Each structure stands twice: as structure tokens, then as C-alpha cells.
Amino acid sequence: MQDFLRLTLDEAAPQPVSGECAHFRWRWLAVGVLTFEPLMPVDRALVLSAGLHGNETAPVELLDKLLQRLMQGEIRLQWRVLVILGNPAALRADRRFVDYDINRLFSGRWRDVPSCSETARAAALEKRVSDFFAAGEERIRWHLDMHTAIRGSYYPRFGVLPARARPYDEGFLHWLGCAGLEALVFHQTPGGTFTHFTSATFAALSCTLELGKARPFGSNDLSQFNQAAQALAALLGGEALPVANAPRRYRVAGQLIRHSEAFILHMADSTLNFTPFPRGTLLAEEGETRYEVQHDIERVLFPNPHVAPGLRAGLMLVEIT
């Protein structure tokens, strides 16, 4: 198959649209959507996605190199895999999104937003994932959605896990440490993210991987992601994993919601992810509403005062000990 990333950016289909290698079959389904199926039966299925935000290019380049290794026969595939480049229009434009943040539109939330390129894409991706999981009876289902953060961070590589009724499998969390993640953040409430959709709808073990800082194509130092790349290749091929980190664990204790233009976030633009704030600190205000730190120490994640009304302008975290 020709270069999957280049085809996606060119909005083109490969010729042919399917094929067979030594150990697997592949099929191109749509722009930015590709499946791999081992020739032998397997008991595990993986959704591997990147590029939901068009300015977060390092994971897209990492995924493209992983696919090249797979197609060249360097990895003997042990999973049925659905590969997704989430927002091709935004990738082509080198913008976070074109009309609306697609990673707030899953689990049917695309129905609540005026029709645009991202609502159509979210609906289409939900259908692709549904068809993918319905096509198999695997006992293990994972979803790894790779991103980069807008801001710098005390932990350059971290994971965000959706709310889940059942405890997370420790083997899954161990793999995240093998991928080089230094912190894990556990949501407590439902959301509109891609990973929440796959977790809640299909009981997949899902995680948003934040791998460094957002940069344009060609400006990424992929050596920073060597451990993640090694862990992904080892996962797909059933090989020995890199030595695991022991990530710090945090739960989401509160959200800063921007409801109107009156919202003020009392944090500098240079504030890093995981910056700690002591009890009583005024974090934000909006009219008579004040957001203050309620625990001895809370750390901020994804502070952004410029989100659309109704969306979160930051998450506040408490460490799990």
C-alpha cells in the first residue's frame, strides 16, 4: 500500500484498496481509516487513533512509521487493528479543528452541535468503530488515542483515562507505563471524548495518550517518543515490552467550566500542566461564581480560557495515594 499519511492528506484512496501480506490482510475503508486482520485467529482487537486535533502531528508521524514497519513485515501482527487518522481536514489545515473540537462530540454529542465537518466525521468514526468491534468476538478490546498537549507539562508524557464503572486492568496500566507515560489521570464523569465513547459503548480499555507538545509536521523530534514507539511495536507483535515507568496517578476532582464571555481564568498563559495550587487559591471566576481549590493540593490540567461557552477551561486533579 502507498503512504497512508500522504493519501490521507491528499484525500485519496490507495490502488488497490486491499491486500494481503505474509501474516495479515489489510483494507482501506475511507480517508484516514484502515484495518489490519491477522491470517490466524486472535482474541484481541485494538483501535489505534491519532490526529483528532490537526495541529498535533507527532503521534501522526509516529503512527505512520509504525504502519510502515508493519507493511514491511517487521512486526508479526497479533491483534485485529483499526487505524484512524481522526480529522484529516484539520490535519491538512494545520489547525486544532476546522469548525468544532471533534474530541467533544462523541457518544452522540455531535447531534447537539450545528452540522459541520467535525460533526460528520465524529458520526462516521462512531460507525466505523461500531462495525469494527461487531465484526469480531475478541475478549480483549483496547483503544489508544494519541495526542500532544497545547501547553508544556511537568510530565511531558501522560495518559487520560475515561470514567469507568469497573476497575482498570492493571496489565493495561502497566503497558501505559511501558510506553513511557509518567502520570495517569482518571476521569470520574462521562465526557464527549473518543476514548469515553469506546470505553462506555464497547467496554474497551481506553486511554488518551498525551505525548509531548503540539508542533507542525516536520518539526517533531520523534526520538522523544522512542519508548512509546517501542511499546506499540511490541504490543502489536506480542514481543517483550520496554521497562515500565511507575506513573503517578491522579483523579479529576473538579472542572472549570466557561459559560460566558465573563469567564476569567486566573492562570498565566505559561502555566504548565500539573502545576500545583494550595487550598483556597482562586482559580477562576465568572460573575458571582468563584472556583477555588478545595483540597490541600490540586493540580491543573489543560487550562484554556478560550474554549467555547459550555466547555471545560481546565481540570483540577488530586493525587491518588
C-alpha span between 190 and 308 (Å, rounded): 19
Tell whether 53 is in a known binding site: yes
Tell whether 147 is in a known binding site: yes
Q: Which residue has the cell 483501535?
A: 47
User: Which phi and psi angles does 254 have, rounded to 5°?
Assistant: -175, 165
210 is catalytic: yes
User: Are 103 and 122 spatial neighbours (Cβ–Cβ below 8 Å)?
Assistant: no
Closest to 318 (Cα-Cα) out of 300, 305, 304 = 300
User: Are 198 and 143 spatial neighbours (Cβ–Cβ below 8 Å)?
Assistant: yes
Distances in Å between the alpha carbon of 39 and those of 76, 80, 96, 213, 277?
A: 11, 10, 37, 38, 53
Q: Is 281 helix (H, G, I), strand (E, B) or coil?
A: coil
Of residues 210, 285, 286, 319, which has the active-site annotation? 210
Q: Is 34 helix (H, G, I), strand (E, B) or coil?
A: strand
Q: How many CB atoms lie within 10 A of CB 157?
A: 23
C-alpha span between 238 and 93 (Å, rounded): 36
DSSP string, 86-110: --HHHHHHTSS-SSS-GGGSTTTGG
Tell whether 285 is in a known binding site: no
C-alpha span between 54 and 320 (Å, rounded): 32
Show binding-site residues for Zn(2+). Answer: 53, 56, 147
Show binding-site residues. Answer: 53, 56, 147
- Would you please indicate which residues are annotated as catalytic (active-site) residues? 210
